[in-house]
Structure 1
Amino acid sequence: MTATVPAHAGSWHSLETPLSESIFSLSTLDNMGFDTMTPVQSGAIPLFLKNKDVVVEAVTGSGKTLSFVIPILEKLLRRDEPLKNHEIGAVIITPTRELAQQIHSVFQLFVQDHERVDDIRLGLFIGGSNVLAEDISSFKKEHPRILIGTPGRLEELLTKSGQLVNTKELEVLVMDEADRLLDMGFSKQLSSIIAQLPKQRRTGLFSATMTDAISELVRAGLRNPVRIVVKVEDLANKGAVQRTPATLDIDYLVCDADQKLLQTTRILETELADGEGSRKFIIYFATCAMVDYFYKILSRLPKLKPFSFHSLHGQMDTKRRSATYTSFTELSPAIPAVLLCTDVASRGLDISDLDYVIQVDPPQDPKAFSHRCGRAGRAGRKGRATVILVRGREEVYIDFLKLRKIPIQRRFYIMPDLNLFDNSIAAGDDKEDDKATSIEVKDEGVSEFIQQMRSIVRTDRDISDRAIKAFVSWARAYSKHEASYIFRMQDLDLSRLAMGFGLLKLPKMPELKAQKDKSQFVEEDIDWDTFKYADKMKEAKRLRELKDYQAKQATFNPQQQKKKINSAWSEKADAKERKAVRREKKQAKKEFLKKQAQAEIENKKRQLEEAKEDWEDFAEEERMFKKTKKGKLDKSVFEEMF
């Protein structure tokens, strides 16, 4: 069953089942900027209050969180008998700790000053900073009625606490960002949690996208759910449906591999120079190592000194991640600020005053593109997002996005004086074909920018180590891109990219060995024996290792011949036996390596076949899309096909 959601949602007082006076008396909704309901709220809240299970699919920034926060509070406050002892009334499961903390903070706005706070007390269980024993102790002491947390810790709390948590009176289960929960491999934990809960409950499943795996989860965990789909129409394109908020402008910028970070900095400079420009940014990178390295670089560039830089990724410990997220979100909107991160911050996080999202690296999972962009333009606020692509084959990604209902426009190249340069060339004579290739931009500022980066790297050998680690990690991530028929290592000039990373020398890696022309890379003239670590302990260790190495080199004489020593027959026999064992091991290793090489060849063949199939599917989808544009194919038929 699919519910019809009004295009223009009404006021909170228009709900068929009125909300408690206590929610309005605090003026919490007005303070949050929700003086009226969003479409997803007007669709989901009445159904929840009528004891219906709901499956909600809506674009990011549409107000999904309040769609379950308000019904949960209403249900618990309207109980005939309040919960007691270790009974709980609701469980909210999220894929990440940051999202759990954010949902907890939204609940807290309603709960903290409520006269019946004991009936709706909150418990946040996300692991990481606390061990299970500490969370069990906290549960016993606080008696929370609403549990908010990540799948792993919630499963432990329900199954390994000696039946401490009483779920018999549970009213509501919510799974937020359900597609991400499954993508991250939490299906086993979800099944375990659901098995601990009563069947007579209300369940809400919220996500920005729907997949086959979610459909299976719906069948297993929900009873006759009502499906709510909130779509955004692109009025400029005759009502075409799009998968991003209407208030969000998305564009792409094409440049060469050594210009990507330079263009990123110029976007920041352009916005800063505009009195009404964006002030709060998120910049996405492919790997944790890249976040760490480019944080060191960007935060030290003279032109970006007005910005406050922050970094966030999945390999940080929980406390540091929480502190970073809090410090970034609590900064005044007037202070220019940049958060560098990986996809750990691509889902669910609601940073109310975020203006701009920059994707230096397109996400490995194409579905994550709209989620990344959706951090800006939330709850009706204007936002902007830019993805930076390398000139050449990567430009096909734009067609890929358009076919997936992502409205995206070209952004011109930014020159050293911050003026724009149109580097596009129309492809073919067909005017309806809006694909474009790009020309190379001769930018005099590139070499100066690379030298600036290298001068920062030269201040500390540790930054140079981080640069190499970032470059290697990028290569590994790029080679595993899901859209491998678009993002192919052999189509990139890795030597130019290495220059764009500010590397002082090329690392030893197979991807670079495979690329014959490395003429674009100019190695920095530096004495590696005297290149120091800023950290004194690291530097002392390096000097010890260097001294040991030099001592070994001084005593080593390759011309020296070993003296022949007459030995006993038994020793010769032992030597012969050891030689035979070594020969067997060598042969076994040779056979193993042969099998491994064969397996790699088979794997590569399979990958090539899959890439070919993907490309054929993509080409077919594009052909049907053109037919739809020309009116030769009905739009509903196209949507059903893809």
Structure 2
Amino acid sequence: MADPGEWETMENKLHPRVLQTIRELRFTHMTPVQSATIPLFMSNKDVAAEAVTGSGKTLAFVIPILEILLKREEKLKNLQVGALIITPTRELAIQIDEVIRQFLVHFPQFRQIIFIGGNNPMKDVKKFKKQGGNIVVGTPGRLEDMFRRRSDGLDFASCVKTLEVLVLDEADKLLEMGFEASLNTILGFLPKQRRTGLFSATQTQEIENLVRAGLRNPVRITVKEKGVAADRPQKTPVQLHNYYMQSFSSLHSGILVCTDVMARGIDIPEVDWVLQYDPPSSASAFIHRCGRTARIGHHGNALVFLLPMEMAYVNFLSINQKCPIEEIKLLKDSADVLPKLKKLAVSDRAIFEKGMKAFVSFIQSYAKHECSLIFRIKDLDFAAVARGFGLLKLPTMPELRGKSFPDFIPENIDTNSIRYRDKNREKQRQKILAKQQQDRQQNEGKKKFVRNKPWSKQKTKKDKRKKQADKRKRDEGSDMEDENIDELLNDTRLLKKLKRGKINEEEFEKQLLGT
């Protein structure tokens, strides 16, 4: 942590109202990345900063942006963009927008606007034309769309001719998610005479290429963690105690619920533990998952569960991500909650279906894992996984086809009879089931006449249709409707296209929402 007195050292450099706002927001000390970046950024320097996640990078560029715009000789008009901040995700864009909003309460002369996927693009255009936006925060796909729009009466390329500052936040994630083409398009519209800041938690060759393309003689800033040996650098805070676990499966019972939604770009204060039920498909994502704790000087812990045959992942993280982790001892006296979970699944179809979807997602994460030599789907104990998710029966999915699981005993219950606790949802389901039954009866009652076809061929086709119908009936008796599995498989395919750069974030969201 930098010297708390460094804010006072900058009093003569910062705008008085900016300094007052900083103090009102209780920023009483600088982090290393802030103390290294802010003075350089404010003195007409391009910066390329690399620092561990949770090190306070957002404030390191928000303060210089405000200072630079305040010192402009000519006041910005509503439709003139002075600063553009590009982030990889909507969640991170919203978070940065909220930080800026806290400052702009004291600077009403500036307007801010956010352009992210999921919002109606026409509404974004109308909002910008009505209120303007001197500081723009956005995701690459939506920003690229804004530049290309000409038929809506908005020439966004003209609006950025006044641009003073460009910030690429979480630059490694921008490139990892396949936004390089969109970034190149956006950079082509921006003026060359600008200040550019590139902020990243990791350094890659792709980042280096982006530095060369978008920055002019940048000052490179690498913030090292104190107490780390020079010959053994690491990319996680030293205050973070990272553990792994190879014996959780030997417990008599236990359950863990976690989510990957906030693996990056989300700052929640005082998170003590980050629990990872399964390792992420991308090794770099591991750093950002556990980086939700031990932020800005606080202490924290992260735990990942590994099967015995996955122990190579420990060395892999140490070498590939420079992230040391240590074993934590087995927990004792855990409660057996699986019977209760099964009871809940029987009483509410929503819980029953969520368990099925979670199981499908977990299995497919192994099938498509980046470290396929370590995380091998053929080594999984499907029956044990199904019991751990509290399933009543196994779903129908390609990975289970042709396999038998004597260690998994399905519950003696007709899962089609499980009702939604939500009455409206159950009413809608009953309508769909009644319509399906009606359609089947109508199809069975229809007699099709085939002209000029031998009787033997007609019989062959009839037998084929009967087999297909029988197969559909058997499938309909499975635990999870086919459309739900198809939807999950489709979402997985779309996400894979997004990661490979075949589609951008905007196209991903449109296809995901079916628009």
What code does the residue aligned with 1:149 have?
G
Q: Distance in 1 between matches of 2:97 and 2:442?
A: 60
Q: Give yes or no for the alignment of 1:512 onto 2:501.
A: no
After TM superposition, the score normalised by the length of structure 2 is: 0.79
Match among 255, 273, 276 for residue 247 of structure 2 = 255
Which residue number in structure 2 is paired with residue 384 of structure 1? 301
Q: Taking structure 1 as reference, are residues 487 and 185 closer, same or farther at Cα in structure 2, changes over 3 Å only?
A: same
Are residue 530 (structure 1) and residue 446 (structure 2) matched?
no
Specify whether residues 208 and 17 from structure 1 end up closer, same or farther in structure 2 by C-alpha distance, changes over 3 A only. Answer: farther
Give 1:37 deviation, angstroms: 1.5
The 2-side partners of 1:541 and 1:252 are apart by 48
Report whether the alignment pairs 1:153 with 2:142: yes
Q: Is the 8 Å Cα contact of residues 233 and 242 (structure 1) preserved in structure 2?
A: no
TM superposition shift of 1:46: 1.4
Q: What CA deviation, in whole Å up to 9, does each residue of 1:490-534 have, x standing for no partner?
A: 111111000001110112333334655x23212112134533333
The structural deviation recorded for 1:397 is: 1.2
Equivalents in 2 of 1:181, 1:499: separation in Å?
A: 38
Does the CA contact (< 8 Å) of 1:55 and 1:228 recur in 2?
A: yes
Q: What is the CA-CA distance between 1:545 and the residue it aligns to?
A: 6.4
* Pairing partner for 1:73 from 66, 83, 100: 66
Q: When the two structures are aligned, how many residues end up with a matched partner?
A: 450
Taking structure 1 as reference, are residues 30 and 112 closer, same or farther at Cα in structure 2, changes over 3 Å only?
A: closer
1:87 is paired with a residue whose SS is coil
How far apart are 1:234 and its partner, in Å?
4.4
Note closer, same or farther for the CA distance 1:553–1:248 as it changes in structure 2 (3 Å cut).
Answer: same
Aligned to 1:31: 25
Q: Rate the CA distance shift 1:16–1:544 in 2: closer, same or farther, 3 A.
A: closer
- Counterpart mapping for 1:88-167 below 5 A: 88-114=81-107, 117-118=108-109, 120-129=110-119, 131-161=120-150, 162-164=154-156, 165-167=158-160
> Counterparts in 2 of 1:532-571, with a 5 A limit?
532-534=419-421, 535-541=425-431, 544=434
Q: Write the deviation string for residues 65-120 of structure 1: whole angstroms up to 9, x where unpaired.
A: 11110111000001111112521111000111111111111112221023xx21x3
Change (3 A) 1:64 1:238: closer
**In structure 2, do the counterparts of structure 1 residues 174 and 537 end up closer, same or farther at CA, with 3 Å as the change threshold?**
same
Distance between the aligned counterparts of 2:233 and 2:317, measured in 1? 13
Q: How much has 1:238 moved relative to structure 2?
A: 8.2
Match of 1:484 in 2: 372
Change (3 A) 1:112 1:453: same
Which letter does structure 1 place at the counterpart of 2:434?
Answer: R
2:466 match = none
Cα distance in 2 for partners of 1:256, 1:74 equals: 52
Secondary structure in 2 matching 1:168: helix
Query: Is the CA contact (8 Å cut-off) linking 1:260 and 1:500 kept in structure 2?
Result: no
Structure-1 separation of matches of 2:2 and 2:265: 23
Greater strand share, structure number = 1
Letter in 1 for 2:279: P
What is the one-letter code of the residue matched to 2:225?
V
Change (3 A) 1:90 1:395: same
Once the two structures are superposed, residues 121-166 of structure 1 have per-residue CA deviations (whole angstroms, 9 ceiling, x without a partner) of 211221313x222212211222221111111222222331531452
* Aligned pairs (5 A) from 1:593-632: none
Cα deviations across residues 450-499 of structure 1 (Å, max 9, x unaligned)?
A: 21111111012343233222212221221110011110011111110000
1:264 match: secondary structure: coil
Deviation at 1:372, TM superposition (A): 0.7
Counterpart in the other structure of 1:43: 36
- Distance (Å, rounded) in 1 between the aligned partners of 2:438 and 2:163: 66
Structure 1 pair 554–147 and aligned structure 2 pair: CA distance change class (3 A):
closer
Conservation of the 8 A alpha-carbon contact between 2:255 and 2:337: no
Q: Which residue of structure 2 lines up, in the alignment, with residue 373 of structure 1? A: 290
CA distance, structure 2, for counterparts of residue 111 and residue 261 of structure 1: 52
In structure 1, the gaps of 5 or more residues are: 1-5, 266-282, 284-340, 419-444, 556-561, 583-642
C-alpha distance in 1 between matches for 2:316 and 2:434: 53
Q: Supply the RMSD in Å over aligned alpha carbons.
A: 3.2
CA shift for structure 1 position 255? 3.3
Whole-angstrom CA distance in 1 between matches of 2:179 and 2:443: 53
State the distance in 2 between where 1:248 and 1:542 align: 51
Within 2, Cα distance between the matches of 1:549 and 1:493? 40
TM-score of the superposed pair, with normalisation by structure 1 = 0.64
Equivalent residue for 1:502, pick from 385, 390, 401: 390
The superposition leaves residues 172-196 of structure 1 with CA deviations (integer Å, 9 ceiling, x where unpaired) of 0001001111111211221111111
- Higher RCO (C-alpha under 8 Å, 6+ residues apart): 2
Give 1:207's aligned residue.
Answer: 200
Shift of 1:379: 0.8
1:541-598 residue CA offsets vs partner (Å, 9 max, x unmatched): 365268669979999xxxxxx9xx9x9xxx65x549989xx9xxxxxxxxxxxxxxxx
Gapped regions of structure 2 (runs ≥ 5): 462-515
Deviation at 1:407, TM superposition (A): 2.5
- Is contact 2:115-2:137 (8 Å) kept? yes
Sort the Cα spacing of 1:546 and 1:531 in 2 relative to 1 into closer, same or farther, 3 A: farther
Displacement after TM superposition at 1:30 (Å) = 5.8
Which of 499, 514, 521 matches 2:408? 521
Report % sequence identity: 44
Q: CA contact under 8 A between 2:2 and 2:35: conserved in structure 1? A: no
In structure 2, relative to structure 1, the CA distance for the partners of 1:105 and 1:81 (3 Å cut) is: same
Distance (whole Å) between structure 2 residues aligned to residue 140 and residue 177 of structure 1: 29
Give the aligned residue type for 1:123: I
Query: Is contact 2:48-2:197 (8 Å) kept?
Result: yes
Contact 1:253/1:411 (8 A) holds in 2: yes
2:206 aligned partner, one-letter code: A
Contact in 1 for aligned 2:2/2:29 (Cα 8 Å): no
SS in 2 for 1:482: coil
8 Å CA contact 2:255–2:388 kept in 1: the answer is no
What is aligned with 1:179?
Answer: 172
Deviation, 1:10, is 5.3
* 1:413 positional shift: 1.8
2:210 corresponds to 1:217: yes
Change (3 A) 1:200 1:528: closer
Classify 1:261/1:488 alpha carbon distance in 2 versus 1 (closer, same or farther; 3 Å): farther
Per-residue displacement from partner, 1:21-72 (whole Å, max 9, x unpaired)? 111223x34634x312111111111111121111111001111111110111
